[in-house]
Amino acid sequence: MDTEKSSSSSFEDLTNAEDTKDIRKVAAEEAAAGDGAAPASVSGDEPKTVEEDPEEECDILGNKQLIKRTIKKAPQDSVRRPIRGELVTVNFTGKLDNGTVVEKELNFQCHVGDYEVVQGLDMVLPMLQVGEVAQVSVDPRFGYGSLGLKKDGESAYLVPPDSHLTYEIELLDIKYEDFADLKSFEILRKYGTRKKERANFFYKRSEFTTAIHLYRRALDFLDNRDGDPEAEFDKEDLELSNSDTQTLLEDRLIVYNNLAMTQIKIAAFDAALQSVEHVLRCQPNNSKALYRKGRILEGKADTQGAIKLLQKVATIEPDNRAVQSDLARLFIKARREENNEKEMYQKMLGQAKKMEQKTATRQKQPLVDNSKLKLLGYLMGSILIGVAGVAIYRYKY
């Protein structure tokens, strides 16, 4: 984006505009109190241009963090507003509070809702009409946040952290794209590459959810076969040559690889596994996909499976130190898990032996009680027999 300062400010003086609005209001009130004739500037005796309309302000979120002010209204015959996914053409300029121009684009095209402009502007786009010019006040939350924005390859900040931004934006055109607009190789690759590069931007900023959305949007253009990488493009419809098809395939696999890495970052291991499988079905020896699948299996607690995959990567890239380091770490982790399993089994066996001993003790206890009862029964029987014998003897003699 062009970062040069503009030679003159493209923003109107809001204070003067408010003063003008108050003067017109007072004049109208005085005219109503008098003979009812309003001054020419109020009653409309002079032709009124669009630029002379009072400014309209909209606090979009109700918390002053995103405010839209209409500088120039759209023509009366322009009523359509863009919706999510439509292609818009805009001019915009972004400034810091000190007036420094940090972004400037002319005839810039983007899809609404795809974060191809700063989030605050992306949220305002559906509120604009063709021909309208608006000023947008963007809180750091919807700008570049606490990370700010640096120039590529430089340490200096283009947008310092936690900076408030003010944009002036003009909506030039809205276009709904149907299949006929998206069947050429040039358009498919242009849009897919643009989404991928924007996703890479957010990945570097650790904004992984936004990056995932953009990688999926890139696949919408690079892969329109319901996510099946083994299916063939319909060349008659898409007008693709064999070389074009191969180019889109390679671009698509790069996006799937990047998508998998981003999903790993948020521990979405099942989704990441599906992404790398798309790559490995087409390129079974793709080292990046194999390495990332190993990371996924490790995240799913399959250390042995991860070791096998990283060993395969090590044979493909024997000089890759990162893979060697991860392999060494995984071997240590596997031994630790094995020792933990042994300790757990020993504890389980020890508890099982204790349970057996308790059960045996409980089983012996009734046997002891039964023998005592039998002995007592014998004794009682002997005594009763003796008493009966004595009684009989005395009775006879």
User: pTM (2 decimals)?
Assistant: 0.71
Cβ-based neighbours of 122, under 8 Å, separated by 6 or more:
112, 113, 114, 115, 116
Separation of alpha carbons 115 and 242, rounded Å: 32
| 90 and 171 Cβ atoms separated by less than 8 Å | yes
The answer to whether residue 33 is domain-embedded is no
Residue 340: the pLDDT is 83
- On whether residue 165 sits in a domain, the answer given is yes
Q: Which domain holds residue 162?
A: 50-176
Quick one: average pLDDT of 281-294?
A: 96
Predicted pLDDT of residue 235? 45
Lowest mean pLDDT among 18-32, 88-102, 217-231, 303-317: 18-32
Cα three-residue angle 334-335-336, rounded to 5 degrees: 90
pLDDT band at 52 (very low <50, low <70, confident <90, very high): very low
Cβ burial 249-279 (10 Å sphere, 16+ → b, else e): bebbbbbbbbbbbbbbeeebbeebbbbbebb
Closest CA to 116 of 220, 222, 198: 198
- Helix, strand counts (H, E) of the chain: 11, 8
Answer yes or no: is 41 within a domain. no
In a domain, 75, yes or no: yes
Domain assignment of residue 98, yes or no:
yes
What pLDDT is stored for residue 379 in this prediction?
72
Task: Say if 157 falls within a structural domain.
Answer: yes
What is the C-alpha separation between 27 and 34, in angstroms, rounded? 11
Question: What pLDDT band is residue 55 in, cutting at 50, 70 and 90?
Answer: low
Q: How many Å apart are CA 139 and CA 128, to the nearest integer?
A: 19
User: Would you say residue 83 lies in a domain?
Assistant: yes
Number of structural domains, the chain? 1
What's the DSSP call for residue 387?
A: H
Q: Looking at per-residue confidence, does 31 or 219 come out higher?
A: 219
Burial class from Cβ neighbours inside 10 Å (0-12, 13-18, 19+) for residue 170 reads buried
**Tens digits of residue pLDDT in 216-265:** 999 999 975 544 444 554 544 566 788 888 999 999 999 999 999 999 99
What per-residue confidence (pLDDT) applies to 70?
A: 95
Compute the Cα dihedral for 152, 157, 160, 166 and give only its sign.
negative
In a domain, 62, yes or no: yes
* Phi, psi angle pair for 89, to nearest 5°: -115, 130
Q: What angle do CA 212, 249, 225 make, to 5 degrees?
A: 70
Q: Please tell me whether residue 321 adopts helix, strand or coil conformation.
A: helix
Q: What is the CATH number of the domain that holds 167?
A: 3.10.50.40
Distance, in Å, from the CA atom of 224 to the CA atom of 228, rounded to the nearest integer, reads: 9
The DSSP H or E segment spanning 230 is none
